[in-house]
Amino acid sequence: MGHQSQTELQDLTAIHTFQVSLLEKHLEHRIPLPAQVESLPAEPESTEAVQPLKHWLGLLDMAITPPMIREALKCTDGPETAHSLLRYFVGKASAHSNDRDKTDCVITHLFRRPQPESPGRWHRPEVDASYYFMSQAAMAFETELYKALGEVQFDSVPPSHVQLLHEFEFFHQELEEFRHFDQVTDSNIVQRVRELKQSLGRSFYHPDSLATIAVWNDVFGRKFDDLFHDATKQIKVFAENVQREGGSIMSRVDGDITIKHLAEIETKQILTEDYQNAQDQFRKLSKYKKAVDSKRSGRVTPAPIPSRSISVPAPPQSQPQAASTPAQTAVQPVVMAQELNSAAANAGKAQPAPPLKMASKTPVQTEVLAVPPSQAVQNAVQEGKIHSARETIKNHVRTTEPKFVHIVNVKKSKITLTPAEVEAFKSDYQGEKSFRADYVNIMMTMVAYHSRMLVEVDEYNQKASSAYLWKPHADALSYLLSTLERVSLEAEQVKAVARTRGLHDKVSAVEVSLEKLKECGQNVSQTLHAADQSYSG
């Protein structure tokens, strides 16, 4: 019998022992085995045992849920069982969501428990670490997966699926902005990630994909748990305080939500459920949290942003007691009175957007729900996103077919690159101190700014009616607009050098890109002003 067949048979035998033991523990009685399986020795040597075992394990798979696999793996010693399960599921390469979810559990378990002899010895990144550390951990873990899968051969991941894997960087950027549990449920990020995994098809089971997904599962899982426990703690503390002050357990908090509902939340039971089965519980928890926040802070949900306006409305006059909208929050530091280039002069140094204050019939004490990061940290995050956008576009240009290379998908929009911009992204002058390096850098920066503006405006418009989700996008737009003059000055400097050297094609290329960026910035400012006018009117 060949080595590969022997390994497969050993894996099937180990998985059979693991799954039968798992089911018997849950059922609390012995499971009757088929005659063909029961007659097998503890360590069968013939390949004839492979097919009956596979058929039997296929039936057991239908009885075992992903959470059962996840919890059972926590009680295993060493990676052997997880490695057998990994080879089994990768070998099946099933399109069934149940098998994908179980594979998710296996790779996340392996990533969270690196062994001393593991190649590369990856380190689990901190929840708030940059995506760079996530990608480094994924590369190291990928080596472990290839070693565990042994002689399994894989085709290259198609370029379209490589692009899908790059979406995890944007998911990570979104995750960084979450400060409250209802942001997770409002954003629908879990379902969007599930849809991405499903879109990968068989590429999901490629080690390159599994490594990226395992790191995401680990980081997101920890962030989710932190926000979940924080939300349930606040809800239960609120319910306890009401009862301590003599309030009835049946008193209403908001609508049909009572103190009794808040007090009876079972966090442990919810978290042991599969996410798909627990979605209703998560949405209910999010609803409870919003009700508690509303009761404690008197917060009102901001109004949605209307469609863009064609003309630029005049900035609203500040009133001491006027209500402020999300649009005002973003526009205040970046008012554009005459020309876009005067944005920074009006804004100063990209100050953080002021807190949202809504008009109320009675004065209320606004609760501080989270401590915002320092301005330096916020700026660094925005610069990181600009860099990430630039790298994504560079990857697109260098991997896409030539006839499509000039079209870049950005969320629901598209950017059409000029020939000069395409060539800039193809060039590689990193670390070089020269005019051509400065030229390529400013061309890529302008396109990256354009991309970031489209993304943030789209996200801002979608989330303006949310209690929290509009704020990070308002801050991002504020930063992009207020630093646009700096980009314009750098572009003018490159133009001046190109002009003195007689490089008129370079001068023209910079002018075209800068004009596109300014037009996009003007539309951003108009959108924010239009929203403000609509709300205040």
* 332 in the same domain as 409: yes
- Per-residue pLDDT, averaged over 86-114, amounts to 93
Residue 413 lies in a domain: yes
Report the interhelical angle of 97-112 vs 207-244 (nearest 10°).
90
pLDDT in tens, 382-435: 888 898 889 889 988 988 888 888 999 887 788 999 999 999 999 888 778 889
* 284 in the same domain as 235: yes
Residue 74 lies in a domain: no
| Confidence band for 202, pLDDT divided at 50, 70 and 90 | very high
DSSP assignment of 441-484, as one string? Answer: HHHHHHHHHHHHHHHHHHHHHHHTTSSSTHHHHHHHHHHHHHTH
Reply yes or no on whether the pLDDT at 521 is more than 80: yes
Residue 64 lies in a domain: no
Instruction: Determine the pLDDT at residue 35.
Output: 81
Instruction: Determine the pLDDT at residue 531.
Output: 61
* 277 in the same domain as 336: no
Cβ 445 vs Cβ 469: under 8 Å: no
Residue 439 lies in a domain: yes
Instruction: Determine the pLDDT at residue 356.
Output: 30
* Lowest mean per-residue pLDDT among 73-82, 115-124, 276-285: 276-285
* 446 in the same domain as 342: yes
Number of domains comprising the chain: 2
Cβ 360 vs Cβ 298: under 8 Å: yes
Instruction: Determine the pLDDT at residue 453.
Output: 92
Residue 508 lies in a domain: yes
- Could you give the 3-state DSSP secondary structure of residue 120? coil
* 385 in the same domain as 258: no
| Confidence band for 247, pLDDT divided at 50, 70 and 90 | low
Name the residue with higher pLDDT: 45 or 101: 101
Reply yes or no on whether the pLDDT at 85 is more than 90: yes
* 254 in the same domain as 141: yes
* Lowest mean per-residue pLDDT among 23-37, 95-109, 251-265: 251-265
Give the domain range for residue 392.
326-348+373-536
Cβ 86 vs Cβ 148: under 8 Å: yes
* 340 in the same domain as 233: no
- Per-residue pLDDT, averaged over 329-333, amounts to 37
Cβ 380 vs Cβ 476: under 8 Å: no
* 389 in the same domain as 336: yes
pTM of the entire predicted model: 0.54
Residue 238 lies in a domain: yes
Instruction: Determine the pLDDT at residue 269.
Output: 60
Instruction: Determine the pLDDT at residue 275.
Output: 54
- Per-residue pLDDT, averaged over 36-48, amounts to 65
- Per-residue pLDDT, averaged over 333-338, amounts to 34
* 525 in the same domain as 457: yes
* Lowest mean per-residue pLDDT among 137-141, 235-239, 496-500: 235-239
The DSSP bridge partners found for residue 409 are 414
Instruction: Determine the pLDDT at residue 9.
Output: 84
- Per-residue pLDDT, averaged over 275-302, amounts to 60
pLDDT in tens, 462-478: 877 766 677 788 888 88
* 147 in the same domain as 219: yes
Residue 448 lies in a domain: yes
Last residue of a domain, one of 281, 299, 317: 299
In a 13 Å sphere around the CA of 175, the CA atoms on its Cβ side amount to: 28
| Confidence band for 119, pLDDT divided at 50, 70 and 90 | low
* 248 in the same domain as 330: no
Longest Cα pair distance anywhere in the chain, in angstroms? 88
Reply yes or no on whether the pLDDT at 243 is more than 90: no
Name the residue with higher pLDDT: 257 or 153: 153
* 387 in the same domain as 273: no
| Confidence band for 151, pLDDT divided at 50, 70 and 90 | confident
Pairwise CA distance, residues 160 & 178, whole Å = 28
- Mean pLDDT, rounded, of the chain: 77
Cβ 406 vs Cβ 461: under 8 Å: no
User: Exposed/middle/buried for 85, CB within 10 Å: 0-12, 13-18, 19+?
Assistant: buried
Cα–Cα nearest to 387, from 451, 320, 344: 451
Last residue of a domain, one of 261, 281, 299: 299
| Confidence band for 322, pLDDT divided at 50, 70 and 90 | very low
Residue 37 lies in a domain: no
Backbone angles phi, psi at 410, to 5 degrees: -130, 100
* Lowest mean per-residue pLDDT among 254-268, 361-375, 392-406, 410-424: 361-375
